[in-house]
Structure 1
Amino acid sequence: MPHATTAATRLPHSGIREIVDLAIAAPHPVIRLEIGEPDFATPAHVVDAAFEAARVRTSYVQTAGIPELRDALAARLTRATATSVPMERVLITHGAVQAVDAVLSAVLAPGDEVLVPDPAWPNYQMQATLLGARAVTYALRPDDAFQPDIDEIRRLVTPRTRAIVLNSPNNPTGAVLPPHILAAVVDLAVERDLLVVSDEVYDEIVFEGVHSYAAALSSDHVVSVHSFSKTYAMTGWRVGYALVPAWLADTVTRILELETSCVSSVTQAAALAATTGPQDVVGEMRDAYRSRRDVAVGVLAQAGIDIVVPRGAFYLMLPLDPHTDSRAAALDLVNAGVSFAPGSAFGASAPHHLRVSLASSEDRIREGLQRFLAWRAAGGLASPLAGAHAR
């Protein structure tokens, strides 16, 4: 019988999806705070544009994306970065996931290294593993407000390093990179001739101040990755885009052709309507996420729990007792009627934290955290009923 021997056999299962599956199958109601799924509906004008496109014609389109959408996004990025962004550098992808994968596929060979944050969205490490490359982590420590140490990043660069991944606003921490740290990382990349892969899918969800765009600092050493999923509540539409250096655009386009031929023409019509249509909904959702963050921070503060207050995205990191394993806690909390993602699903730097998604209503966030506090007051994993799902 044939058997798998490729790097794919070393890919771990998602610690987030483990909790998702358990929460869905639970025999009792569970308040779902484990997944980053906006609870808002896709704006009506976006849905209408997709229906109209589907009625007119569905067909193959250009691999790099339809020109109208690429041009509209180039204009958006020109405004956002205060630099000139030509359409040719903007590529449409099947979600931000494909953008990151295609870029890493273009620059990493087996044995190469890529620096990735920890904690972080686990796909960065998984994509490097699949390519036969090595993901080297730099820590985002709670004591440092989940900000990277530029000196640590510099020390980790070796002759095998090809890229540095940044993610701001960050999943899972909600931390936002300050401009001076962002500039220091890009300066290091230019100095050592590395590529910065800047995952900015939450760029429109910044609560204080404005987002700093890495692409504004270098056109040759930065790829910025964006998505419609979070900004416009379009997770299921599966459309993202990347701003790539001119020297990389053709190679990435060829990889996209191999992987998917093109992104759905209907989806791209919806994305075009989102980009060029009314933007009020973006601000309204951002305001709602900010309000939800404030509710969560208030509930935890009243309980005497200090957290690193998130400045963007829609997550916060909830600290557990220093000796509590986050996976065991997350599994057991489903028994208590609330689900969180374990910090261990995002790396080694926050093993005693839970990620709380703020993509649910204020009432559900408040009730979910109260269930956590009741579980904690009852002894948590030390309680007699604990561990039923952890075995």
Structure 2
Amino acid sequence: MPSPAAVTTTLPHSGIREIVDLALSLDTPLVRLEIGEPDFPTPANIVEAAAAAGRRGASYVQASGIPPLRGALAEALGRRYDLDVPSSRVLVSHGAVHALDSVLRAVVAPGDAVMIPDPAWPNYEMQARLLGAEVVHYPMPAERGYLPDADEIRALVTPRTRAIVLNSPSNPTGALLPRHLVEEILRIAVEHDILVVSDEVYDEIVFDGAPVCAASIAPDHAVSVFSFSKTYAMTGWRVGYALVPEWLADPLTRVLESSISCLSSVNQAAALEAITGDQSAVARMREAYRARRDLAVGMLTEAGFDLVTPRGAFYLMVPLADGADSRAAALDLVTRGLSTAPGSAFGQGAPHALRLSLAASEESIRTGVGTLIAWHRETAGGLALEAETVRR
């Protein structure tokens, strides 16, 4: 019989999805803080715009996105980051994950090197490895506030380095890269003619400081990727977009054509209403996430945890005891009625930590954090777990 490509048999499953699948398989009540799924409904005006588009009739449209949406996105980016952006540099994708994957496909060949942060959302590494690229991790340790060091990144660059992935605000840490640091990394990219692929999907969920659009600083050497999923509670609608260099627009369009033909015209109508309509829901959700962050950080700090307070996104990294196995901890917590994401799912940089998603209700966060605090005390921060938990 035919056999799968070798890379697909060695590609690890997502450590986040392991917990998600386990949570979905249980019939018992569970406080779910393992996945970044906003608990808010998609605003009604967006849903109605989609319904109206559906009644008019869905059809094939341009692979790079319908012109009204691309124009509206260019205008919105211009207002947000004080830019003069032509719509030709804005391409629409099937969610941000599709934009990230398509950009890498457009510039990375087998044997090239792709630099990604550690800890980081695991899909970056999965996408690079599927392309036959070498993955090079640059560290973002907790003791540095989960921020990278530009000199460390520079030292890791080789003639084979084709792309550097940034993510700010960060999943899983909530860290927000300051402008001067983004500028330093972009200088490295320009010097070595490398493309920076900047995942900025949480750019409108920032609590302290301001987001930085990498593509606005080095327009020929950076791609900024955005999404409607988190900003507008539209995860299931699967609409993302990217601000790309002019030289990349046509190659990237070819990749989009080959992978999805085009994004649903109904979903693009919803996105058009989201970006041009009433924005008050965005501010309300952002303030709710801020309150949830403050609640979780306050409870854990009072209980004696040493935390790095996230400045954006809706995630919080909670340290376990040194030497504790985060996967074992996450599996054990599910039996206690709480699902979290193990730090090991995000690389080697946070093996003794758990990621909490603060996209759940305040009641769920209060209950879940209380469970975590009690569990932490009972298990000595996870060190007292039995070996059987690890083997599951």
In the TM superposition, what are the counterparts of 1:150-229 in structure 2 within 5 Å?
150-229=150-229
Once the two structures are superposed, residues 302-322 of structure 1 have per-residue CA deviations (whole angstroms, 9 ceiling, x without a partner) of 101110000000001000000
Corresponding position of 1:303: 303
Separation in 2, partners of 1:384, 1:101: 38
**Cα distance change on mapping 1:236 and 1:384 into 2, 3 Å:** closer
SS of alignment partner, residue 296 of structure 1: helix
Separation in 2, partners of 1:388, 1:6: 30
Separation in 1, partners of 2:347, 2:50: 38
Report the CA distance between 1:216 and its aligned residue.
1.6
Checking the alignment, whether the CA contact within 8 Å between 2:340 and 2:355 is kept in structure 1 is yes
Output the amino acid matched with 2:266: V
Separation in 2, partners of 1:223, 1:382: 42
Output the amino acid matched with 1:72: A
Corresponding position of 1:279: 279
Separation in 2, partners of 1:250, 1:382: 53
Corresponding position of 1:370: 370
Separation in 2, partners of 1:390, 1:242: 41
Checking the alignment, whether the CA contact within 8 Å between 2:209 and 2:311 is kept in structure 1 is no
Task: Choose 376-385 or 162-171, whichever is displaced more.
Answer: 376-385
Separation in 2, partners of 1:54, 1:110: 41
Checking the alignment, whether the CA contact within 8 Å between 1:215 and 1:224 is kept in structure 2 is yes
Checking the alignment, whether the CA contact within 8 Å between 2:106 and 2:255 is kept in structure 1 is yes
Report the CA distance between 1:57 and its aligned residue.
1.0
Output the amino acid matched with 2:244: V
Report the CA distance between 1:384 and its aligned residue.
7.5
Task: Choose 92-101 or 25-34, whichever is displaced more.
Answer: 25-34
Separation in 2, partners of 1:331, 1:199: 29
Separation in 2, partners of 1:187, 1:384: 46
Corresponding position of 2:97: 97
Once the two structures are superposed, residues 241-290 of structure 1 have per-residue CA deviations (whole angstroms, 9 ceiling, x without a partner) of 01110001000000000000000000000000000000011111000000
In the TM superposition, what are the counterparts of 1:1-391 in structure 2 within 5 Å?
1-379=1-379, 381=382, 387-388=388-389, 390-391=391-392
- Show structure 2 runs of 5+ residues with no match: none
Report the CA distance between 1:153 and its aligned residue.
0.1
Q: How many residues align?
A: 391
Report the CA distance between 1:209 and its aligned residue.
2.4
Checking the alignment, whether the CA contact within 8 Å between 1:81 and 1:215 is kept in structure 2 is no
**Cα distance change on mapping 1:384 and 1:229 into 2, 3 Å:** closer
Checking the alignment, whether the CA contact within 8 Å between 1:174 and 1:311 is kept in structure 2 is yes
Report the CA distance between 1:386 and its aligned residue.
7.7
Separation in 1, partners of 2:329, 2:369: 14
Output the amino acid matched with 1:332: D
Report the CA distance between 1:390 and its aligned residue.
4.1
SS of alignment partner, residue 219 of structure 1: coil
Once the two structures are superposed, residues 9-56 of structure 1 have per-residue CA deviations (whole angstroms, 9 ceiling, x without a partner) of 221101001001111222421100000000000000000000000000
Report the CA distance between 1:373 and its aligned residue.
1.4
Output the amino acid matched with 2:272: L
Checking the alignment, whether the CA contact within 8 Å between 1:309 and 1:316 is kept in structure 2 is yes
Output the amino acid matched with 1:43: P
Checking the alignment, whether the CA contact within 8 Å between 1:120 and 1:171 is kept in structure 2 is yes
Separation in 2, partners of 1:6, 1:378: 43
Checking the alignment, whether the CA contact within 8 Å between 1:169 and 1:203 is kept in structure 2 is yes
Checking the alignment, whether the CA contact within 8 Å between 1:63 and 1:263 is kept in structure 2 is yes
Once the two structures are superposed, residues 31-88 of structure 1 have per-residue CA deviations (whole angstroms, 9 ceiling, x without a partner) of 0000000000000000000000000011000011000000000001112222211001
Checking the alignment, whether the CA contact within 8 Å between 1:343 and 1:350 is kept in structure 2 is yes
SS of alignment partner, residue 104 of structure 2: helix
SS of alignment partner, residue 316 of structure 2: strand
Checking the alignment, whether the CA contact within 8 Å between 1:110 and 1:132 is kept in structure 2 is yes
Report the CA distance between 1:212 and its aligned residue.
1.4
Separation in 2, partners of 1:306, 1:183: 30
Separation in 1, partners of 2:209, 2:92: 28
Separation in 1, partners of 2:176, 2:163: 20
Checking the alignment, whether the CA contact within 8 Å between 1:227 and 1:239 is kept in structure 2 is yes
Checking the alignment, whether the CA contact within 8 Å between 1:113 and 1:163 is kept in structure 2 is yes
Query: Normalising by structure 2, what TM-score?
Result: 0.98
Output the amino acid matched with 1:214: A
Output the amino acid matched with 2:234: M
| RMSD (CA atoms) | 1.3
SS of alignment partner, residue 163 of structure 1: strand
Report the CA distance between 1:227 and its aligned residue.
0.2
Checking the alignment, whether the CA contact within 8 Å between 2:328 and 2:389 is kept in structure 1 is no
Separation in 1, partners of 2:215, 2:127: 22
Once the two structures are superposed, residues 208-235 of structure 1 have per-residue CA deviations (whole angstroms, 9 ceiling, x without a partner) of 1221111221111110000000000000
Checking the alignment, whether the CA contact within 8 Å between 1:196 and 1:222 is kept in structure 2 is yes
Identity %: 62
Separation in 1, partners of 2:385, 2:129: 40
Report the CA distance between 1:387 and its aligned residue.
4.1
Separation in 1, partners of 2:94, 2:6: 24
Checking the alignment, whether the CA contact within 8 Å between 2:150 and 2:181 is kept in structure 1 is yes
Checking the alignment, whether the CA contact within 8 Å between 1:331 and 1:390 is kept in structure 2 is no
SS of alignment partner, residue 135 of structure 1: strand
